Amino acid sequence: MSETALDALLHETRRFPPPETLARDANAQPALYDEAAADRIAFWEKQADWLRWDRRWTTALEWDPPFAKWFVGGRLNACVNAVDRHVEAGFGDKVAYHWIGDGENETRTITYADLQRLVCQAANGLAELGVQAGDRVAIYMPMIPETVVTILACARLGAPHNVVFCGFSADALRGRILDADARVVVTTDGQFRRGSPTPVKPAVDEAVDGCPDVRSVVVVRRTGGDVAWTDGRDVWWHDLVDGQPDSHDPEAFDAEQPLFMMYTSGTTARPKGILHTTGGYLTQVAFTHRMVFDLKPDTDVYWCAADIGWITGHSYIVYGPLCNGATSVIYEGTPHPADQDRWWKLIEHYKVSILYTAPTTIRTLMKWGHELLEPYDLTSLRVLGSVGEPINPEAWMWYRTYVGGGRTPVVDTWWQTETGAIMISPLPGVTTTKPGAAMQPLPGISADVVDNDGEPVPAGGGGYLVLTEPWPSMLRGIWGDDERYRETYWSRFPDIYFAGDGAKRDEDGDLWLLGRVDDVMNVSGHRISTTEVEHALVGHPMVAEAAVVGATDATTGQAIVAFVTPRGSVAADVSSGDEFVQALRNHVAKEIGPIAKPRQILVTPELPKTRSGKIMRRLLKDIAEHRELGDVTTLLDPSVTDAIRGRMSESGSED
């Protein structure tokens, strides 16, 4: 299709009903909404029945706002549900994962039977290190099969895992290990990035240096080469795991047994350990994975291109697909300018039928051009998913038109680390979609858009997105901090979950997500707190003050822009130079991780403040987005903003 045809489509009615055959054969039918509306709890119980329970629950939901317990009294093992169950049902030879490494010609095919053996060995290995039910295990690993194996081994033992994205710094890792009080860390010697080895273990060594209670560091050999070694603490994966028996007796745990914690950024400098438990989480991730992607486990090849280090990877690379017995692709790499058609090659080769990725990636692939897709047969694709940030209608249309050949439904899925699973999304065989809209809450989910007073907005209105009823995969709290849990999510509107997102309800009652309404930025689908970056910047000895805003960016959704005031005595010539800016960017990378590096840092003698001394971030955002300034009447010294604007127009953006 030509660019003009795409343009024309963008101006058409913009409604895409499901293709007839899909509507007929899809897993989800319109009646599902009625069924859930008639009895929400019975509906979720029916979904929970898809899992294997060693003991059935006695009460489906105990709700003592804001604390929920689902499937109370039930007992199950998450790993058995993800792996053993399928082997016992005769699907041992079925491929669980096609893994493709970021190096040359590196692939692995892992069946469900392979996975069962690997996981049992790993569970036996961890048990030998003394890991028991309830112990936290930190995982700092790239996208390799051993990462999934470690996660499942922890689940098998009832030991909550705390996976930290490998792009986080040693400092960030240390904070998460300490907060979770993990005693064992699993990592690799290094990882491949664009085919080149880069070290991983040094960050763990540095992090664990400040964690006196960590007794073991298990190291998977991934890249080879020398690594520093601490005898008595460090142990090679192959020494610990490879010789273990490949069977392991799984124990059934309480439905509310903690399954994992995942740290995520909020409005304060300290990340929060979002806690998920077992029965409700598995129920909802499996249900949504089946329905939202219309999964047909016998024929589909599913590819979720997220990183396992984020919630999307947990729910839709590991637990959801495995609980449904799906065949998935895991690709270690990310789109790279030197290898622009890699994705299309992979889709053709593996006959991928369901693709799930983030708008940032779609926009990057779009920038490289649809011509790159033409040599490839992508007709295997039948459902396309989007997640992590608002998807602009142009990217949505490009995705459907070029990647999906104009045939495939696009499901824009809204959810969060806290929700554990998809909450608002079209259903492929049911929903008539609109480019850019997440449409309706899934069956069993109650969402609303409310105004400042918590009153629902009428059709056509905008406001705050809230979730009005508990759901099975909801976070059970913030690790070790019930008060913060209450305060963060349940205090803005009493007993109603406040998601932190703005949303619009259109004339048809469909939902459009508008992005965060708090101090959280969304950069390439990664959640980063402005406060956290500010905190890192002011931690630099030459910085007096810093203010950080998320500015709209055509590719990454938002980009980090920092305004920094150097310390008084620091020579002005140093502080305004590139070297200083570079030093600050590196400092942020060291404190948090490369993902938090500001795109642009503007060094300025002063920041705009109100008469009461508050930094006016709103104005800085206007400046960063090159907009006319909003209300400046409360500004103490209006000349400050003029000076910053002058500097902004002189400076280019970094990288």
A 10 A CB-CB count for 613 gives 7
Tokens of 477: 């709290």
Residues in 414-433 at the binding interface with ligand PRX, rule: CB under 6 A: 414-417
Residue 6 C-alpha from the chain's centroid: 30
Site map (CB under 6 A) of ligand PRX, residues 465-504, x = contact: ----------------------------------xxx---
Nearest to 271 by CA among 315, 216, 310, 314: 310
Residues in 264-283 at the binding interface with ligand PRX, rule: CB under 6 A: 264
**Which stretch, 110-118, 219-227, 229-237, 385-393, contacts ligand PRX (CB under 6 A)?**
385-393
φ/ψ region of 186 (left if φ > 0, alpha if ψ in -120 to 50, else beta) reads beta
A 10 A CB-CB count for 646 gives 11
Minimum CB distance to ligand PRX, residue 281 (Å): 14
**Which stretch, 26-34, 61-69, 329-337, 510-518, contacts ligand PRX (CB under 6 A)?**
510-518
**Which stretch, 66-74, 140-148, 406-414, 593-601, contacts ligand PRX (CB under 6 A)?**
406-414
Minimum CB distance to ligand PRX, residue 557 (Å): 9
φ/ψ region of 620 (left if φ > 0, alpha if ψ in -120 to 50, else beta) reads alpha
Instruction: Tell me which of 291, 387, 411, 592 binds ligand PRX, using CB under 6 A.
Output: 387
Cα atoms in the Cβ-side hemisphere of radius 13 Å centred on 490: 19
Minimum CB distance to ligand PRX, residue 467 (Å): 11
* DSSP codes of every residue in 596-651: G--SEEEE-S---BBTTS-B-HHHHHHHHTT------TTBS-THHHHHHHHHHHH-
Site map (CB under 6 A) of ligand PRX, residues 209-238, x = contact: ------------------------------
Residue 311 interacting with ligand PRX (CB under 6 A): yes
Instruction: Tell me which of 187, 284, 312, 360 binds ligand PRX, using CB under 6 A.
Output: 312
User: How far apart, in whole angstroms, are the C-alpha atoms of residue 143 and residue 496?
Assistant: 36
Nearer of residues 288 and 641 to ligand PRX, judged by Cβ: 288
Residue 288 interacting with ligand PRX (CB under 6 A): no
Cα four-point dihedral sign 606, 609, 614, 618? negative
User: How far apart, in whole angstroms, are the C-alpha atoms of residue 279 and residue 286?
Assistant: 11
User: How far apart, in whole angstroms, are the C-alpha atoms of residue 69 and residue 60?
Assistant: 8
Nearest to 219 by CA among 230, 206, 207, 211: 230
- Please count the residues of this chain forming the interface with ligand PRX, following the rule CB under 6 A: 22
User: How far apart, in whole angstroms, are the C-alpha atoms of residue 132 and residue 2?
Assistant: 59
Minimum CB distance to ligand PRX, residue 438 (Å): 5
Site map (CB under 6 A) of ligand PRX, residues 246-265, x = contact: ------------------x-
Contacts of 377 (CB under 8 A, 6+ apart): 348
Residue 438 interacting with ligand PRX (CB under 6 A): yes
Nearer of residues 352 and 513 to ligand PRX, judged by Cβ: 513
Residue 412 interacting with ligand PRX (CB under 6 A): yes
Residue 557 interacting with ligand PRX (CB under 6 A): no
User: How far apart, in whole angstroms, are the C-alpha atoms of residue 352 and residue 6?
Assistant: 24
Minimum CB distance to ligand PRX, residue 523 (Å): 11
As a residue count, the chain comes to 655
Residue 510 interacting with ligand PRX (CB under 6 A): no
Tokens of 363: 């926009």
Nearer of residues 513 and 624 to ligand PRX, judged by Cβ: 513
Minimum CB distance to ligand PRX, residue 421 (Å): 9
A 10 A CB-CB count for 418 gives 24
**Which stretch, 164-172, 489-497, 508-516, 570-578, contacts ligand PRX (CB under 6 A)?**
508-516
Angle between helices 170-180 and 578-591 (to 10 degrees): 30
Instruction: Tell me which of 522, 529, 531, 565 binds ligand PRX, using CB under 6 A.
Output: 522
Residue 435 interacting with ligand PRX (CB under 6 A): no
Nearer of residues 389 and 519 to ligand PRX, judged by Cβ: 389
Q: Which residues bind to ligand PRX, rule: CB under 6 A?
A: 264, 311-312, 387-390, 412-417, 438, 499-501, 513, 515-516, 522, 527
